[in-house]
Each structure stands twice: as C-alpha cells, then as structure tokens.
C-alpha cells in the first residue's frame, strides 16, 4: 500500500465536490490525513491522473470494419460498393415486372458473413421495392428514327428513394421510371434517337441524345455510354448542364464541380429529377430517423467549422467516359504480373478476436447464393 506521505507530485480528486487538487510531498495538508475526509478522496499517480477527465465513450464489442475491407483496393468507391443495407429479390426468370419486389434488410451487415460493416443503419419501416427501368430506349425498340411515345399513367411514391416515380405505358407494356419535377399524369413523354443538324428546342420530360440538345440545357438521367442505361443525375433533385461540344462528344457538368465527356449518342432526359414532399421534409425527430432506418449517431463526430479557412483548389480535368466493361476491366484482381494495382489486404481472423461478436450463421447454397 502506497503511503500518502511518501508520494512525490500527485493529484487528489474530491469525489463529493467533483474537484481536483494538486500537492507535493512537503506540502500535504494535514486535513487530508483525517479518516472522515480521506474516504472521499481518490489519489492517482501523476502519469495517470488525467484519465478521469477524458470523455468516457462506450464502444461496442465489435466496431464496424468499414465497407472498403470487403473490397480490393482498386474497387474502392461508391459505384463499386456492395449494398450492406438491403437485398432486393428480383424474379428468378429475370423478366421485367411492375409488381412490388420483396426486400430483405441487412442492417449494415455483410450479406454472407453477417459481420457489421457500416454503422448508422438499422430498423425502419417495412418497404417494397419498385423495379426502375433506366433504359429510356427499350432494347427491342428500333433505332431507325421512330419516336417512342409513352403516356404518364400515374405518379407514385417510392419508399426506397427520394424521387417520385411514374408508371408509363406504350403499346401493351408498362414500366416504372423516375419522374421529373414538371410532368403530370396524362402527359405524353417522347423519346427521340436521332441527332438533327440544328439543335432542337427541348420539352420537359422528353428524352434526346446529348448531341441533339443546345448548350446550356439542363438534363438528368444521363447515360455514360450509349445503351447502358442512366448513370449520372439519377437521384432526387439532381441535374446536369451541357457545357460544350468537342467533336463527337458532349461535355456536361455534374454536381457543380465535375465535368464528363460523353458520346453525343448517349440518351438523357430534359429537366430535373423530382422529389417527394414527404422526403423533402426535415427529419424532425429521432423517432422519424428510426422510421427512416437510421440509428442514433455515436457522438464522435465533430463538425468542421472552417476556422482556419479552406483550400481553394483548381477544378479537376474533364473525365472521358468508357463502356462499363472497360471501366470495370481488371477490377477485383490481385497484384499479379500484367495488372498494375495494389495488393489486396485480407482480414486476418487470428488477430484482434478479443471481444468480437460471432457472426450470424447464413445458409449458403452450393452455387454461392444466400439462402434467405
């Protein structure tokens, strides 16, 4: 037992009055040595005396390991990320349908291992998914200059996205599409596939190749390569602006900072994506955040105030888009000869296993699919 009189420089904490007093060996007050007073004080060594002043965070047994741990380094990015929030069960035959699709929620866990990957996800109202057709020109539709006319049958609420969706029909076929902010039920939206000599005067909701529109047009649901479906500006209230034409390519500006050079035959929709009034409301309360599927925050985040100012950087160069197969070429491969990328860092299960929660069991079918 360490004696009070043999201490060097120490800190004494008064538990009852929540205060800290410092003293040295030669200046120990005699009042500290009384039994009735000594019981309310805690004596700590000078090296560890500041521990009680630190914030006492209660960490979970297993911290989320992050989405990038499940991907090779060359796949890091939002577009190549796996979905750790939910699984949508599409028809087994792969045929498009307008019926509502079942959804299995993951709560931020890996669909196979069950390990917690991202936090802030959990709970929420039960939802059904709608299959959005991102191909404005159907694959079987002829591209000989024929104009595709579709009628807007209804504009609906989609619980799994902020934008409103519309059911359109042509012939005997129906499909779901993302609605722009100015179309109404009963409207006729048209899809053109030809590029005239002179730019046209576009109408809200119609679809044209990028090369047919004048400079300065606001567009959305833009293909990064012809025939691959909408890629840019597909979320609520998103749009892009046509800046200029360079040869057989058109340069657009997305998110007010990035420029992309896209072939002029890629389809786009004139206008801005809509947003549902319910999703445009502020969150309002923690209860509604839970209804939206968001867990309470940990409290570790500190907002950047910009006290020291911010760096003003020059805009990045224009990015030329490529076909999706070319864009994903070599993704997921290791650093073997002939492929330049970083080596994949595997998760070593033999280290750091103390306190780790055992992953939930998953029934795996032989072909590798998860048996839900």
- Across residues 77-86, what is the average pLDDT? 72
What percentage of the chain has pLDDT greater than the value 90?
Answer: 48
Q: How many CB atoms lie within 10 A of CB 164?
A: 22
Domains and CATH numbers, the chain: 4-53 (no CATH), 148-277 (2.30.30.30)
pLDDT tens digit sequence for 118-139: 888 988 999 999 999 999 999 8
Name residue, tokens 């009189």: 5
Calpha distance 261→259 (Å, rounded):
7
What percentage of the chain has pLDDT greater than the value 70?
Answer: 68
pLDDT tens digit sequence for 182-230: 999 999 999 999 999 999 999 999 999 999 999 999 999 999 999 999 9
First to last CA, the chain: 60
Task: Give the residue, 336 or 187, on which the prediction is more confident.
Answer: 187
Whole-angstrom CA distances from 64 to 57, 72, 246, 302, 351 are 16, 18, 46, 19, 16
């Amino acid at each position: 037992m360490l004696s009070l009189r043999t201490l060097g420089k120490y800190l004494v904490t008064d538990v009852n009055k929540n205060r800290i007093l410092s003293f040295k060996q030669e200046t120990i007050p005699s009042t500290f040595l009384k039994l009735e007073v000594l019981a309310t004080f805690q004596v700590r060594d000078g090296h560890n005396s500041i521990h009680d002043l630190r914030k006492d965070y209660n960490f979970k047994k297993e911290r989320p390991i992050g989405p990038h741990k499940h991907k090779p380094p060359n796949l890091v990015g939002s577009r190549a990320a796996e979905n750790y929030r939910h699984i949508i069960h599409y028809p087994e035959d792969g045929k498009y349908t307008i019926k509502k699709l079942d959804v299995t929620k993951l709560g931020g866990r890996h669909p196979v291992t069950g390990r917690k990957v991202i936090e802030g996800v959990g709970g929420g109202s039960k939802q059904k998914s709608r299959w959005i057709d991102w191909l404005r020109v159907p694959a079987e539709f002829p591209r000989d200059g024929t104009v595709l006319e579709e009628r807007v049958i209804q504009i609906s609420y989609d619980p799994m996205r902020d934008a409103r969706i519309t059911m359109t029909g042509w012939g005997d076929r129906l499909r779901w599409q993302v609605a722009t902010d100015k179309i109404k039920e009963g409207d006729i939206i048209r899809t053109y596939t030809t590029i005239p000599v002179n730019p046209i005067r576009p109408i809200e909701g119609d679809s044209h190749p990028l090369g047919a529109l004048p400079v300065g047009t606001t567009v959305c649901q833009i293909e990064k390569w012809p025939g691959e479906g909408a890629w840019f500006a597909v979320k609520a209230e998103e749009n892009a602006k046509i800046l200029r034409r360079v040869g057989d390519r058109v340069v657009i500006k997305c998110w007010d900072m990035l420029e992309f050079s896209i072939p002029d035959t890629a389809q786009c929709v004139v206008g801005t994506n809509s947003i549902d009034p319910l999703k445009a409301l502020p969150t309002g309360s923690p209860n509604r955040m839970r209804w939206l599927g968001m867990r309470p925050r940990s409290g570790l985040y500190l907002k950047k105030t910009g006290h020291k100012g911010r760096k003003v950087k020059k805009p990045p160069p224009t990015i030329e888009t490529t076909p999706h197969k070319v864009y994903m070429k070599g993704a997921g491969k290791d650093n073997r000869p002939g492929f330049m990328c970083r080596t994949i860092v595997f998760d070593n299960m033999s280290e750091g296993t103390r306190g780790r929660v055992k992953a939930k069991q998953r029934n795996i079918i032989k072909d590798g699919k998860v048996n839900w």
